[in-house]
Amino acid sequence: MKAVDLPPYYNMCEILEHNLETRADKTALLSDAGSMTFGEVSRQVNQVGNALRRLDVRVGDCVAILCPDLPQWVTSFFAVTKIGGTALGMNTLVKTAEYDYILGDSRARVLIVHDSLLPVIEPVLSQHATLKRVVVIGDAGDTGYTSFNDWIKGEAETLDAERTHRDDFCSLHYSSGTTGMPKGVLHAHKDYPLIAQLSGVDVFGLTEDDRTFSVAKLFFVYGIGGNLIFPWYVGASCVLYDGSPRQVAGVLKTIETQQPTVFVSVPTVYGAILALPKFDERYKLDSIRMCISAGEALPAPAWQAWKDATGLDILDTIGCTETYHTFMANRPGAIRPGSSGKPIDGYDVRLVDDDSNDVPAGEVGHLMVRGESTALFYLHQYEKSRHTFRGEWLFTGDRYSMDDDGFYWHAGRGDDMLKVGGLWVSPVEIENALSEHDAVSECAVVGHHDNAQLLKPKAFVCLRDDIEASNEVLGELLKLCAKKLEAHKRPRWIEFVDSLPRTATGKVQRFKLREQ
């Protein structure tokens, strides 16, 4: 499928609405809060869309959604795109300062927020004059904000979709970098059917008989693609899970009760499940026919252990926020454990050296990718955009080699970024947190493989001359990290060293620390 195959005027809400003719009464989503049919989803989408128009949300306006994976997340998302707005699914795991930045950078006009997340974002809401209205899902209590249920009650259940162009932007996704705040990536209406066809159908072979379930949340493009866009594009159902993927018992229980056929997950969660004694006997997982992994490389031993325990193959795949979804994948029946597979139809990749010359097979190069679902730029980031979006080609920042059979092997990142549990971690952020302690004179953080061969942050810390390394200092540093950093960003090891290796120009040589 090519972008030109779509009608010039196309609205991505078609991915939901094409189901209304033949499947209006079919279950579209299942969740602890109950299930909804395609017809029910569509009616609520229309109510939210009408309520947004009543707030004067116009084409191009941004609406932010900060909510666990619940039906209201989904109906809000489709409602925004249906009226031609730009939907921003916010990461539910970040701190107040990041919400502050994102509200400013996106100029969100309306915020739809779940009551459980309101306390983290509330302190900065009044600083954003561009934010006109806050709607609360759940209990709005005496906050003074509008309650979601009251807001849509009485709104009409029909709504004409905005006549958007296939190239109009419809969603905004924030992705982290080495320094500073995350970068906004805009995707167009056309990108949705493209990824659904190229990955969901052509690679994963989803059909309307499938039921997807993802531990990657909807705010993460890997999650919304695999657990909402792909299934609905083919008329399949999805299972929403509003718990934490760290609670593997909850994940397994959900599989047992909701019986998904496709499991969309990340290496750390596969690892955590494998670490649970006799998980395959304690939980019934036999509804699953296909397991997908992405976010970070899946180690071959984990692939084998999963196969031994469940009989199932995991398809390791790689995508990025900039391409929206998968561009390389292991395919059913053609898997090389430990590799990221091969480029999928619709995408081309190149491996190049520092001077942009192609490198031969077996050698490591920078991974570039080309495909029509790729975003065009980072919002308000001219320099970073020029570095990453190079004409048709996207510079991913990943280092890869290709073997003689055409499989691609991840060789780490060219920048210092880490992927932990599929989530971005910047060493600089951890270093900044550690440096706040008086005893620390300098420090550096690198990725280090744990026993399961997954990358986790490790800190090398130099203490001030008058301070001795001790368990007490260590305890204080760990406590500081617990206060300042989200769980996946906290260093798993802290090593005290006398000095950090540096170049002649004073730059920390992280590669030397990585080798230790």
Interface residues toward ligand 3UK, by CB under 6 A: 175, 221-222, 294-297, 316-321, 325-326, 340, 396-398, 410, 413, 419
How near is the Cβ of 219 to ligand 3UK at its closest, in Å?
Answer: 11
Output phi, psi for 395, to 5 deg.
Answer: -90, 110
Number of helical H runs and strand E runs in the chain: 18, 26
Q: Pick the closer one to ligand 3UK by CB: 294 or 445.
A: 294
How near is the Cβ of 475 to ligand 3UK at its closest, in Å?
Answer: 33
Helix (H, G, I), strand (E, B) or coil at 372: coil
DSSP, res 344 = P
DSSP, res 178 = S
- Who contacts 333 (Cβ-Cβ below 8 Å, separation ≥6)? none
The token pair at 8 is 């010039």
Q: Pick the closer one to ligand 3UK by CB: 20 or 428.
A: 428
How near is the Cβ of 278 to ligand 3UK at its closest, in Å?
Answer: 28
Q: Select from 261, 240, 235, 237 the least CA-distant residue to 251.
A: 240
The residue number whose beta carbon is nearest to ligand 3UK equals 319
Residue 494 to residue 497: CA distance in whole angstroms? 10
- Residue 438: count other Cβ atoms within 10 Å of its Cβ: 10
Q: Are 41 and 29 in contact (CB under 8 A)?
A: yes
Q: Pick the closer one to ligand 3UK by CB: 321 or 401.
A: 321
How near is the Cβ of 148 to ligand 3UK at its closest, in Å?
Answer: 28
Q: Pick the closer one to ligand 3UK by CB: 138 or 226.
A: 226
Q: Pick the closer one to ligand 3UK by CB: 325 or 456.
A: 325
Q: Pick the closer one to ligand 3UK by CB: 25 or 392.
A: 392
How near is the Cβ of 424 to ligand 3UK at its closest, in Å?
Answer: 6
Q: Pick the closer one to ligand 3UK by CB: 409 or 501.
A: 409
Cα 282 to the center of its chain, rounded Å? 29
How near is the Cβ of 251 to ligand 3UK at its closest, in Å?
Answer: 18
Q: Pick the closer one to ligand 3UK by CB: 182 or 235.
A: 182
The token pair at 275 is 């670490």
Residue 326 to residue 154: CA distance in whole angstroms? 40
Q: Pick the closer one to ligand 3UK by CB: 118 or 298.
A: 298
How near is the Cβ of 57 to ligand 3UK at its closest, in Å?
Answer: 26
How near is the Cβ of 347 to ligand 3UK at its closest, in Å?
Answer: 12
- Who contacts 311 (Cβ-Cβ below 8 Å, separation ≥6)? none
Q: Looking at the DSSP assignment, which residues form a beta bridge with residue 342?
A: 329
How near is the Cβ of 373 to ligand 3UK at its closest, in Å?
Answer: 10
Residue 140 to residue 143: CA distance in whole angstroms? 6
How near is the Cβ of 408 to ligand 3UK at its closest, in Å?
Answer: 9
How near is the Cβ of 439 to ligand 3UK at its closest, in Å?
Answer: 33
Residue 251 to residue 241: CA distance in whole angstroms? 8
Q: Pick the closer one to ligand 3UK by CB: 82 or 410.
A: 410
Q: Are 266 and 287 in contact (CB under 8 A)?
A: no
Q: Pick the closer one to ligand 3UK by CB: 148 or 424.
A: 424
- Who contacts 195 (Cβ-Cβ below 8 Å, separation ≥6)? 225, 229, 230, 324, 325, 326, 373
How near is the Cβ of 226 to ligand 3UK at its closest, in Å?
Answer: 7
Q: Are 266 and 296 in contact (CB under 8 A)?
A: yes
Which residue pairs, CB below 8 angstroms and at least 24 apart, start in 346-354? 346/1, 346/194, 346/198, 346/202, 346/371, 346/372, 346/373, 347/198, 347/323, 347/371, 349/400, 349/408, 350/393, 351/400, 351/401, 351/402
- Who contacts 356 (Cβ-Cβ below 8 Å, separation ≥6)? none
Q: Pick the closer one to ligand 3UK by CB: 294 or 443.
A: 294
